[in-house]
Amino acid sequence: MGDVLSDDEIDAGLPEEWAREGDEIVRTYEFEEYLQGVNFAQMVGEIAEAQFHHPEIVIGYKDVEIRLTSHEAGGITDQDLEMAELIETERREREG
């Protein structure tokens, strides 16, 4: 578990489309079908288990909100930024 990052480090490392909200980074993904969102949430969960770093996942009708923070560190760390990058990469690969 890394240390909590500075505002500048967070701004520099935040992937495109992600936003910072206090001690969390967040992105909401839109889908055409409900089950596409459910499957996406499963993918995120698998990445989280592999990284042992777990986001909050809120599945809506045709969207999924992902919120990341490092609970033990008490803020945003490299693990959160890395998780966001992994989610982005995996989603791009699956979208083709």
Ligand X SMILES: C[C@H](O)[C@H](O)[C@H]1CNC2=NC(N)=NC(=O)C2=N1
Q: Which is nearer to ligand X, 17 or 56 (CB)?
A: 56
Among 10, 14, 44, 53, contact with ligand X (rule: CB under 6 A): 53
Q: Which is nearer to ligand X, 71 or 91 (CB)?
A: 71
**Contact region for ligand X (CB under 6 A) — 10-18, 28-36, 66-74, 86-94?**
66-74
**Pairs from 65-72 (Cβ < 8 Å, separation ≥ 24):** 65/26, 65/27, 65/28, 65/29, 66/26, 66/27, 66/28, 66/29, 67/21, 67/24, 67/25, 67/26, 68/24, 68/25, 68/26, 69/23, 69/24, 69/25, 70/1, 70/2, 70/4, 72/1
Among 71, 89, 91, 94, contact with ligand X (rule: CB under 6 A): 71
Residues that bind ligand X (CB under 6 A): 52-54, 69-72
